[in-house]
Amino acid sequence: MPPSQSPARLDSAEERRTRILDAAEACFVRHGFHRATMHDVAAEAGMSPGNLYRYFRSKDAIVAGLAERDRAAVAEDFSGIEAAPDLMQAFTGLARRHLAEAPAEKAVLCLEMWAEATRNPAMAAICRDFEREIAGRLTSLYRLAQDRADPPKAGADPEALARLAMVMADGIMVRRALSPDFATGPVIDAMLTLVGAALDGRFDPTTTPESDR
Amino acid sequence: MPPSQSPARLDSAEERRTRILDAAEACFVRHGFHRATMHDVAAEAGMSPGNLYRYFRSKDAIVAGLAERDRAAVAEDFSGIEAAPDLMQAFTGLARRHLAEAPAEKAVLCLEMWAEATRNPAMAAICRDFEREIAGRLTSLYRLAQDRADPPKAGADPEALARLAMVMADGIMVRRALSPDFATGPVIDAMLTLVGAALDGRFDPTTTPESDR
DNA sequence: GTGTAGAGAATGAACGTTCATTCTCGGAAA
DNA sequence: TTTCCGAGAATGAACGTTCATTCTCTACAC
């Protein structure tokens, strides 16, 4: 007589949710949130349409669940960054992993989520929280890197620099989504060079531009 | 005996097309391409749904027409740039006009168009052409600016720099669409500073980053 | 037997598009 | 001036389709 509920059951229910989310991701990348049908998702997940509703209340819930999952995965990857031995190397790895090595489908999904966020408050909240978390992590990473330098350098403002890096990252996402063969390497390198130089004061992008003087 | 067809007629037909496009723009910003209905557009334009089809073959045609119109307007604004007396000042004005002063709704529409472009070949073509045109103009602008400098400077590669600037512009668009109160000023300034410094060799973002050495 | 998982047909609302009909108005006829 | 005509502009109800969601029924586990 097994005293606990079958863990296999619970496991498989959770597995089924992720299977549905995986299927939804594929469909949403192919057709977008609004043109992908529940039939498409069901077929991709290898089950009937009705059965989807045993695991998600609605189509919107699937969309939100998917966004939440991806957001959490990326945030997780950023989470321990302040503990890295070489901060800038860790940052470089993070940038390459998410902006170059990640499948281009992620960029498409990202665009889709952004577009949805402009009019769906739930999605807007997810995007906002995500952006805040990453901004916070990058800011403290940069601040830490400045403090740890041999003679502590006071270059550009870490917060402004984090905003700048994120804007560049967003731009890279757009380009990847639009032309899958876009060479992200040079642009990522430019971002890394810029951040590195700005952090230790060799070049400050937060001054007023020449053409205004 | 009137030799030509009534020009008043033609004029008003053209006006009606732009009225429909204006209405569609408002609706698409509010609800997105796929959630905005033809009834919405018709109501916004102050006419009946059926009448829309006298001016556009289909909903898709309206979407394409709108994208085409906006693309052309921006391209037009970039068109004479090589002729400006102060090239960098002209570039600064262009950047401010399109990335800061333009209404935030344009950014939302832009996101919508990008998302659509990932799966609609017609929209993809429009975006691709637009991007090529702007890239070309920026490249030759930068090249010209280098050549014209007092002792001609050979800084970063103009083409790579144009790509970089466009990626940053795309990122700014994303941020504006997502949080309408985002302060674009500092980021635009950073872009201008960066381009200025890169053009005359004070700082080269196209070198391999420090963290790789 | 009882409860859970699943399938797949059914439902009903929403949407793009069509079309028969009405409206508007400039100009010819009287 | 008044009346009538015709053509294009516009209307809005209706149609066929699509799609999210619900319902009903079967099969298996315990």
Q: Provide mean pLDDT across the span B10-37.
A: 88
- pLDDT value at position A4? 31
Instruction: Report the nearest residue to nucleotide D22, CA vs C1'.
Output: A50
d(CA A119, nearest CA chain B) in Å? 7
Degrees, nearest 5: CA angle B98-B100-B105: 75
**Closest-CA residue of chain A to B168:** A168
Question: What's the pLDDT tens digit per position in A109-164?
Answer: 999 999 999 999 999 999 999 999 999 999 999 999 998 877 777 789 999 999 99
**CB nearest to A114's CB, from B111, B192, B203:** B111
* Contact between A128 and B179 (Cβ < 8 Å): yes
User: Picking from A25-34, B8-17, B133-142, B195-204, which range would have the lowest pLDDT averaged per residue?
Assistant: B8-17
Question: Residue B31's closest CA among B68, B54, B63, B55?
Answer: B63
Judged by DSSP in three states, A211 sits in helix
Q: Provide mean pLDDT across the span A178-195.
A: 95
**Closest-CA residue of chain A to B174:** A170
d(CA B19, nearest CA chain A) in Å? 24
- pLDDT value at position A3? 32
**Residues within 8 A of B (CB atoms), A 181-210 only:** 186-187, 189-190, 192-194, 196-197, 202-210
Question: What's the pLDDT tens digit per position in B49-90?
Answer: 999 999 999 999 999 999 999 999 999 999 988 899 999 999
Identify the residue with better confidence: A210 or A11: A210
Q: Is the per-residue pLDDT at A11 higher than 90?
A: no
Whether B4 and chain A come into contact, CB under 8 Å, resolves to: no
Å from the A120 CA to the D27 C1': 41
Q: Provide mean pLDDT across the span A167-190.
A: 96
**CB nearest to B118's CB, from A111, A116, A197:** A111
Collect all residues with Cβ–Cβ distance below 8 Å to A93 and sequence separation of at least 6.
none
Q: Which nucleotide comes closest to A53 if you measure CA to C1'?
A: D21
**CB nearest to A163's CB, from B88, B187, B208:** B187
Q: Which nucleotide comes closest to B61 if you measure CA to C1'?
A: C16
Identify the residue with better confidence: B7 or A165: A165
- pLDDT value at position A2? 33
Degrees, nearest 5: CA angle A166-A167-A168: 90
Question: What's the pLDDT tens digit per position in A69-101?
Answer: 999 999 999 998 989 999 999 999 999 999 999
**Percent of chain A whose pLDDT exceeds 90:** 78
Judging contacts by C-beta atoms under 8 Å, the chain B residues touching residue A127 are 178
Q: Which nucleotide comes closest to A56 if you measure CA to C1'?
A: D21
Q: Which nucleotide comes closest to A38 if you measure CA to C1'?
A: D20
Q: Is the per-residue pLDDT at A213 higher than 80?
A: no
Whether A92 and chain B come into contact, CB under 8 Å, resolves to: yes
Structure tokens at B9: 């007629």
Structure tokens at A138: 């990058």
Q: Provide mean pLDDT across the span A19-30.
A: 95
- Could you tell me the pLDDT band of residue B213, with boundaries at 50, 70 and 90? low
Question: What's the pLDDT tens digit per position in B150-171?
Answer: 777 778 999 999 999 999 999 9
Q: Is the per-residue pLDDT at B3 higher than 60?
A: no
Whether B140 and chain A come into contact, CB under 8 Å, resolves to: no
- pLDDT value at position B6? 34
Å from the B8 CA to the D1 C1': 27
Degrees, nearest 5: CA angle B105-B107-B110: 110
Tell me how far CA of residue A108 lies from CA of A115, A126, A128, B164, in angstroms.
11, 17, 18, 20
- Say if residue A156 is exposed, middle or buried (CB neighbours under 10 Å; 0-12, 13-18, 19+): buried
Whether A37 and chain B come into contact, CB under 8 Å, resolves to: no
Which residue stretches of B57-200 are H helix? 59-79, 87-96, 104-117, 121-148, 158-178, 184-199
- pLDDT value at position B153? 74
Determine the residue type at B117: A
Q: Give strand C nucleotides closer than 7 A to any protein Cβ.
A: 5-10, 14-20, 27
CB of A49 lies under 7 Å from some atom of strand C: yes
Judging contacts by C-beta atoms under 8 Å, the chain A residues touching residue B168 are 167-168, 171
**Closest-CA residue of chain A to B197:** A210
* Contact between A175 and A186 (Cβ < 8 Å): no
